[in-house]
Amino acid sequence: MAYTDIAGQCAAAGAAAKTLASAGADVKNRALDAVAQALTQDAERVLDANRADVEAARKSGMSAAMLDRLTLDPGRIAGIAGGVREIALLPDPVGKSDGTTKTPDGLMIERRRVPLGVICAIYESRPNVTVDIAALCLKSGNSAILRGGKEAFNSNLALTGVLRSAISGAGLPEDCVSLVTDTSRESVDTLMSMTGRIDLLIPRGGAGLINHVVSNSKVPVIQTGVGNCHVYVESSADLNMAANIIFNAKCSRPSVCNAAETLLVDRSVAADFLPLAKALLDTKNVELRGCPETCSVIPSAVPARDEDYYTEFLDFILAVKVVGGIDEAIAHIGKYGTAHSDAIVTDNYTLAQRFLDEVDSAAVYVNASTRFTDGGVFGLGAEIGISTQKLHARGPLGVEHLTSIKYVIRGSGQIR
Amino acid sequence: MAYTDIAGQCAAAGAAAKTLASAGADVKNRALDAVAQALTQDAERVLDANRADVEAARKSGMSAAMLDRLTLDPGRIAGIAGGVREIALLPDPVGKSDGTTKTPDGLMIERRRVPLGVICAIYESRPNVTVDIAALCLKSGNSAILRGGKEAFNSNLALTGVLRSAISGAGLPEDCVSLVTDTSRESVDTLMSMTGRIDLLIPRGGAGLINHVVSNSKVPVIQTGVGNCHVYVESSADLNMAANIIFNAKCSRPSVCNAAETLLVDRSVAADFLPLAKALLDTKNVELRGCPETCSVIPSAVPARDEDYYTEFLDFILAVKVVGGIDEAIAHIGKYGTAHSDAIVTDNYTLAQRFLDEVDSAAVYVNASTRFTDGGVFGLGAEIGISTQKLHARGPLGVEHLTSIKYVIRGSGQIR
């Protein structure tokens, strides 16, 4: 994997993408199975490289939570390989046509799914992302250029090495997958300037990285994964149901993007509801950061600053605000939210409809936890992330979202 | 229409978009009919303003072709109004759902079409674009911010005035449509920086404008309309069919993006085919710019420079190149083309399949003219342009492409 520079790496990926675009589903699935098998067989090589990364990260003072995300073990590698096998089992999105229409003068017009070409992912320290994205790109007929974080560099190099030999062993070009070995900030800037060579850039990671890429990329971007999600408890809600929903949305997996970060409660039920919710949230020691009215009901709550309502905590912390009704709740979500997943708990039909219609988020819920926003639950199979933008794809991104369309027209001499 | 600045104009458009998003199809169609009627009734006001623009443009030395594009007359206004009535008749793309699925635990998941929000179009001198885009945006529930060229400023101001009163008369906010009154280059830069306030930017015009916007916008862009289209005559082609196709593709309307700009001919049939094509093209005085082999067959052809093959002439000029076979033809199209519409004329089944598979353009044709790439022909109704990018939408853009989706989930207390 020795490229002269990033432009050269993009050119190699582009050439590989041409071969991959016309590869049949069986060839691609064979390559994916080979990848899964190689990951298990070469696990020791990957684990050695990962140990070096973890050691260096520990010395540099990385937090325990981040160290955990960086660390691989045989069980995690088996899990990653299992994920690749599941991707192999998905239907092939490429070549699918939604039917052919015949025009009055006999032209046959077909709309057919085609790969995008070269997809670049820019992400942070989790090495499993390297394999997930490479496998989803391979399935959808796209070359993957991977720019992981420097903390996981050795792990990523070992993983892409395993991927490339497995892919090449299965008869596809190894340049279908490649790692950007320059982990400096400059390489991100170079990747963002590769219009015409990279067809799609997917930033995955914290809000800082994503905003930098969205604001500066000349290459088309899909932004994923920043989820400042809300649960709004309306006055007619079943309060026990509401307490269960906020507890689940906050605590079942706080580090993921569909976890709730802010609880909004109608004034008329705040005094009844907040102690009920607190009793459950206390079992996970959730820190509450509340508005003055919240703090007057729950004296142990920390006074919230305005910025808390903008924050994706990804932790056992919950911002809480008492509101005057649905208008204030919807306005709050529009101002502070990230248009990811937001829920209302209510028994009022009209207000439920209003919330669903007026909250402008990728997923809007009545009487259910925000945690359901997921490619698997929504029927897409494995996902590459959750898009919070409106263009191209919104919500969970499956392999079909890594394709475009092409009009194929067969004639017999028609002119216009 | 007095906004303090472009940010204020975007905010007004955003507020109007919220109302428009929940407007029913009947209200939007009534507004469109009111627009069509007002255009006819207030035609004199629009024509007065247009005469001022045309007069100023003539004095500044605008070319006859450009003057023609700028000029309105009662017939053209009637045509524009008729286009608006046709848009009213299209099915409403908003609120359409592709069905609801029920998960094993009883969640009802619906994927519903929603408007994008605020769409901004940046375009050049044709005043009809002002009405076309406003009407397509209104139909699809989006506010339109229009930044037309300075040559058409008075016409655009009169047209948006007519549109705004008609829309407001029909009960929708007039800020659904607004004109950017600053026609300096700076206003384009400001619009391109309005992330979060503008949801989609559509540049329409020459390659210079489009490249500037694609390279510099922080707001999501769909690039449209630059069509360097090819017709490739393969050696097994019916040469009379091929001559009719290149004549039609070049001459039926040379100023449009789906017109052919380059003819590629297999070496083995060049001596037979080129004189045949020339005889037809001569009836429209088409200037041929040929490679050395072309010039040896057609001595009157102008020697082509390399840049001719990159050029969208939009005129009675055709670049011609003799090629050694399909590999060279596909490589030429990949290097010089704009991935818009490209055709092969052939009677060879395998080569037809290869061309359709390997030419990476929005529309690929066998034995038909490139002129068919059109929203009407492809079943989309009126179009806002032809996308030559792969993300979000490719090929003709209809009203459905001005929408996004939203997942609407109804539960009964489900947690995960």
B214, closest residue in chain A (CA to CA): A218
Q: Which token pair is B17?
A: 């978009």
Nearest to B204 by CA among B278, B257, B264: B257
Residues 6 or more apart in contact with residue B6 via CB below 8 angstroms: B180, B182, B187, B190, B191, B194
Q: How far apart are CA B325 and CA B328, in angstroms?
A: 6
Please indicate whether, in this complex, the C-beta atoms of B415 and A109 are within 8 angstroms of each other.
Answer: no
Q: A119 contacts in B (CB within 8 Å)?
A: none
DSSP for residue B224: B
DSSP state string for B85-109? HHHHHSPP-TT-EEEEEE-TT--EE
Question: What is the structure's pLDDT at B81?
Answer: 96
CATH class given for the domain over B6-224+391-410: alpha beta
d(CA B289, CA B309): 9
| Residue B365 burial by Cβ neighbours in a 10 Å radius (0-12, 13-18, 19+) | buried
Residue-level pLDDT at A207: 82
Residues B273-331 have pLDDT tens digits of: 999 999 999 999 999 999 999 999 999 999 999 999 999 999 999 999 999 999 999 99
* Measured distance CA(A98)–CA(A110) in Å, rounded: 8
With an 8 Å Cβ cutoff, are B244 and A406 in contact? no
CATH 3.40.605.10 domain span(s) along chain B: 6-224+391-410
d(C-alpha A108, C-alpha A124), whole Å: 47
Task: For residue A184, give the 3-state DSSP assignment.
Answer: coil
| Chain A residues whose beta carbon lies within 8 Å of the beta carbon of residue B18 | 358
Q: How many CB atoms lie within 10 A of CB B8?
A: 12
Taking CB atoms and an 8 Å limit, are A404 and B413 in contact across chains? no
Residue of chain B minimizing CA distance to A240: B413
> Cβ contact (<8 Å) for A414 and B215?
no
- Chain A hits for B358, CB-CB cut-off 8 Å, are 18, 22
CA–CA separation, B322 vs B299, rounded Å? 14
DSSP single-letter state for residue A304: P
Does the predicted interface ipTM exceed a cut of 0.90?
yes
Instruction: Work out whether the CA dihedral A310, A316, A317, A318 comes out positive or negative.
Output: positive
Q: Which residues contact B284 (CB under 8 A, 6 or more apart)?
A: B247, B250, B251, B316
Q: What is the dihedral of CA B251, B255, B261, B263, to 10 degrees?
A: -10
CA B195 from chain centre, in angstroms, equals: 23
Q: What percent of chain A has pLDDT over 70?
A: 100
pLDDT tens sequence for chain A (416 residues):
678 899 999 999 999 999 999 999 999 999 999 999 999 999 999 999 999 999 999 999 998 888 988 999 999 999 999 999 999 999 999 999 988 999 999 999 999 999 999 999 999 878 999 999 999 999 999 999 999 999 999 999 999 999 999 999 999 999 999 999 999 999 999 999 998 899 999 998 888 888 899 888 988 899 887 899 999 999 999 999 999 999 999 999 998 899 999 999 999 999 999 999 999 999 999 999 999 999 999 999 999 999 999 999 999 999 999 999 999 999 999 999 999 999 999 999 999 999 999 999 999 999 999 999 999 899 888 888 899 999 999 999 999 999 999 999 999 999 99
pLDDT higher at B218 or B247: B247
Report the C-alpha gap between A12 and A5 in whole angstroms: 11
Question: Look-up: residue for tokens 């009154």?
Answer: B181
Q: Which residues pair with B322 in a beta bridge?
A: B265
Which DSSP symbol is given to B221?
B
- CATH homologous superfamily, domain A229-372: Aldehyde Dehydrogenase; Chain A, domain 2 (3.40.309.10)
Which residues are paired to B366 by β-bridges? A410, B344
Q: Which residues are bridge partners to A404 per DSSP?
A: A114
Cα-Cα-Cα-Cα torsion B286, B290, B295, B301, nearest 10 degrees, comes to 30
B109–A377 C-beta distance less than 8 A: yes
Q: Which two tokens stand for residue B379?
A: 């079943």
Closest by alpha carbon to A252, among A287, A289, A276, A281?
A281
Size of interface A-B (CB pairs under 8 A): 186
Cα gap B89→B315, rounded to integer Å: 34
pLDDT tens for A216-250 read: 898 889 988 789 999 999 999 999 999 999 999 99
> Distance between CA A286 and CA A288 in Å, rounded?
6
B341 backbone dihedrals φ, ψ, rounded to 5°: -140, 130
pLDDT in tens, B244-255: 999 999 999 998
pLDDT at A1 (0 to 100):
61
Residue B206: the pLDDT is: 81
In DSSP terms, A365 is beta-bridged to A343, B409
Could you give the CA distance from residue A389 to residue A225 in angstroms, rounded to a whole number? 10
The tokens 């929603």 sit on which residue? Answer: B114
Residue % of chain A over a pLDDT of 90? 88
> How far is residue A56's CA from residue A75's CA, in Å, rounded to a whole number?
22
Residues of B in contact with A114 (CB under 8 A): 360
- Cβ distance B160 to B146 under 8 Å? yes
- Contact at CB, A195 and B218, closer than 8 angstroms: no
Per-residue burial over A209-246, b = 16 or more CB atoms within 10 Å of its CB, e = otherwise: bbebbbeebbbbbbbbbbbbbbbbbbbebbbebbbbbb
Q: Distance, in angstroms, between A181 CA and closest chain B CA?
A: 26
pLDDT digits (tens, 9 = 90+) for B328-338: 999 999 999 99
Q: CATH 3.40.309.10 spans which residues of chain B?
A: 229-372
Closest approach of B215 to chain A, Cα-based (Å)? 5
Chain B residues closer than 8 Å to A222 by CB: 391
Q: Could you tell me if residue B96 is left (phi over 0), alpha (psi between -120 and 50 degrees) or otherwise beta?
A: beta
Nearest residue of A to residue B240, measured between CA atoms: A413
